[in-house]
Amino acid sequence: MRASGVLMHITSLPSPYGVGTMGKEAYEFVDFLVKAKQKYWQVLPVCPTGYGDSPYSSYSTFAGNPYLIDFELLRKEGLLKKSDYEKIDWGKNPEHVEFEILFNNRFKVLKKAVRRFLKNPDKEYDKFVKDNKSWLDDYALFMAIKGSRKGKSWLKWPAEYRKRDKETLALLREKLEKEVVNWKVFQYFFFKQWKSLKQYANDNGVLIIGDLPIYVAADSADVWSRPNEFKLDENLEPVWVAGCPPDGFSEDGQLWGNPIYDWDVMKKDNYSWWVRRMKHAKALYDVVRIDHFRGFAGYYAIPYGDTTARGGHWEKGPGFDLFKAIFAECGKDGIIAEDLGFLDKDVFRLLKKTGFPGMKLLQFAFDTRDGGAYRPHSYIQNSVAYTGTHDNEPTMGWFKNAKKADVKRTVTYFNLTKKEGYNWGMMRGVWSSVSDMAIVQAQDLLGLGNVARMNLPSTVGTHNWSWRVKKGALNDEIAERLADLMELYGRCELTD
C-alpha cells in the first residue's frame, strides 16, 4: 500500500524541560500524523547518546535514552513532584537542546524517582530485569563504573576493569550496587513509557520506523562486554575503525571512529549477537531502517589513530550469510536498507537478494557529482522516497546552498513556484513518485532552513542533534494540507 510519513526525532518535540520526551507532546504529534493521514513516524535511534550527543554513538545498542523519559508521566505515578524539576533552568532556547544542562541535571531528577519507585516497585520490574538480563546487567554495571571514573572511556579504565576480571567485576557490582540499580530502573522507566507511546501510535494506525546503526561506539557496553567480536588488539584498542572514503562531497572522507566487527568470529556462532540485536530492534519498532547497508557487502576500514579517512581500504563484508541468520529468527519483513553512498555490484546484488526496499534521496537527484538515479522518474515501487534525511540540509537550506545549475534543473523538473513553496514542491516530488513509501522531514513541512538542520556528518558541535520544533508549529492547517495531498497522490485510504 502507498503511504507516507514524517521524519522527526523524539528529542525534537517541544517540552518545557529542555528536550522532547515520550510525554504529552509525543502523543499530540501522533494525533497530528493521524489528521495529516500519515502512516509512519520515523525516529532516529532511541538509544543513549554518548560523546557528541549523537544517537549513532551510543553507550548501548540495546538500552533506551533516559533523556526521553517524561517527568510529567512519572509525576502522575507519584514518583516525582513538580518541585523536583520545575525550578531547574533547562535552557533559554526552546528550539535548541542544551545537552550539557541535561547531563548535569536530568539524572539527578530521575534518581529521585528511582528512590520513590524502589519503596514499592511495580510487579513487572523484576520480570523486566530478568527478560533483559542478556544486555541490562552489563550496561548497568558499565554505566555505574563510568560514573565512578568521572565519565572516562572504558579504554582508560584500570586493566582489570577493561579486561573484565571476574573477581574485580564481582566486587564492583557490590560496591556500586546503588548506581547499578539506578541504571536498571532508568531503563524500566524508558521501556514502560516507550511501550505505551508505541501502543498509542499503533492503535491510531501509525507505525514507528526506527533506526539501527550498522556500528556501535568504541566506548560502549557492547564492545566492553564482547571484545572478541571486534577487531581489537591485545590492549583492547581498535585496530581498524569505520568510515567512508574520500568522494565528491568530502576530500578527506568520513572518519566515524567506530570499531570494526570481526565478522569471522561472529560467523562461528551464526551471528548470534546480530540476530539478538535485530530481534530487539524489531520488538522496539514496527519498521527497522538499517543504517549504512553497503557495509554488509563491503566495508571501509581505516587504521586506528588516523586523523582522516584517506588511509583506509575496502574489506569484504558478511554478505547474505548474516541476513540468512537474521531471517531465520526475525523474518524478513519490516526492514528498510539505507543503500546510500558508494555503491558497487556487490551492494546491488545483496539488496536484490534480501528484497529490502532501498532509499531514494531527492536532494541527490540534481547534483552534478551524481547521475540521475535519484530522479523520481527512475524510482521503483519497492523503495522509500525521501526529500532528505537527518544527515542532509532541510530542503530550503539546500536551495540556498546548492549550485545554481542544480537549483535550475530542480525548478524545471518539478515546475516549482514560490507561490506553492519550493519545499512543498519538492515534497510533492516524493509523494507523486511510484515509491511505496515516502518520508519527509518535519523541517520541510515548516519550510525551515539550515538553522534547523539535525546533523552535519563527521562533525561534533553544539548545533548537531539539537533542533527542536516550536510548540504549535505543526498545526491543523499543515495537517489539512497534508491530508489533501495524501488523497491526491493515493497515499491514504480515501474518505467520502
Burial of 314 from C-beta contacts in 10 A (0-12 / 13-18 / 19+): middle
Q: What pLDDT, on the 0 to 100 scale, is given for residue 368?
A: 73
Contact 213, 288 (CB under 8 A): no
Dihedral sign computed on CA atoms, order 93, 98, 100, 104? positive
Average pLDDT of the residues in 23-31: 98
Burial of 130 from C-beta contacts in 10 A (0-12 / 13-18 / 19+): exposed
273 Ramachandran zone, left/alpha/beta (phi>0; psi -120 to 50): alpha
Give per-residue pLDDT as tens, 373-387.
Answer: 899 999 999 999 999
Give per-residue pLDDT as tens, 31-43.
Answer: 999 999 999 999 9
Decide if pLDDT at 493 tops 90.
no
Give per-residue pLDDT as tens, 220-254.
Answer: 999 999 999 999 999 999 999 999 998 776 888 98
Average pLDDT of the residues in 389-415: 95
Whether 28 is catalytic is no
Give per-residue pLDDT as tens, 328-352.
Answer: 999 999 999 999 888 899 999 999 9
Q: What pLDDT, on the 0 to 100 scale, is given for residue 426?
A: 97
Residue 279 to residues 71, 133, 335: CA-CA distances in angstroms? 29, 15, 12
Choosing from 165, 315, 321, 391, the catalytic residue is: 391
The three cell numbers locating residue 365: 537527484
Residue 392 — very low, low, confident or very high, per pLDDT cuts 50/70/90? Answer: very high
Average pLDDT of the residues in 76-102: 95
Residue 133 — very low, low, confident or very high, per pLDDT cuts 50/70/90? Answer: very high
Contact 337, 356 (CB under 8 A): yes
Give per-residue pLDDT as tens, 428-459.
Answer: 999 999 999 999 999 999 999 999 999 988 77
Q: What pLDDT, on the 0 to 100 scale, is given for residue 462?
A: 67
Give per-residue pLDDT as tens, 157-191.
Answer: 999 999 999 999 999 999 999 999 999 999 999 99
Give per-residue pLDDT as tens, 474-484.
Answer: 999 999 999 99
| pTM to 2 decimal places | 0.96
Report the amino acid identity of residue 321: D
Stretch (H or E) spanning 196: helix 177-203
Q: What pLDDT, on the 0 to 100 scale, is given for residue 494?
A: 67
Whether 291 is catalytic is yes
Choosing from 25, 179, 291, 393, the catalytic residue is: 291
Choosing from 138, 222, 338, 339, the catalytic residue is: 338
Please tell me whether residue 135 adopts helix, strand or coil conformation: helix
Q: What pLDDT, on the 0 to 100 scale, is given for residue 371?
A: 59
Q: What is the 3-state secondary structure (H, E, C) of 420-457?
A: CCHHHHHHHHHHCCCCCEEEEEHHHHCCCCHHHCCCCC
Whether 53 is catalytic is no
Residue 475 to residues 225, 292, 445, 450, 465: CA-CA distances in angstroms? 46, 34, 10, 21, 23
Burial of 327 from C-beta contacts in 10 A (0-12 / 13-18 / 19+): middle
The three cell numbers locating residue 470: 516550536
Residue 50 — very low, low, confident or very high, per pLDDT cuts 50/70/90? Answer: confident
> How does the average pLDDT of the chain come out, rounded?
95
Chain centroid offset of residue 398 CA: 22
